[in-house]
Amino acid sequence: MYDFLVGFMLVLSIFIIIVVAMQPTKTQSASNAFLGGASQLFGKQKARGFEAVLIKTTIVCIALFFILALAITRFF
Q: What are the boundaries of each domain within the chain? A: 1-22+50-76
* CB-count exposure of residue 18 (10 Å: 0-12, 13-18, 19+): exposed
Q: What is the reported pLDDT for 27?
A: 65
Q: What is the reported pLDDT for 42?
A: 58
Distance CA 9, CA 71 (A): 11
Model pTM score: 0.73
Residue 52 to residues 4, 48, 58, 59, 74: CA-CA distances in angstroms?
A: 30, 5, 10, 11, 33
Distance of CA 35 to the CA centre of its chain: 27
pLDDT along the chain (76 residues), means of 10: 94 97 75 57 73 94 97 91
CA dihedral (14, 67, 57, 4) positive or negative: positive
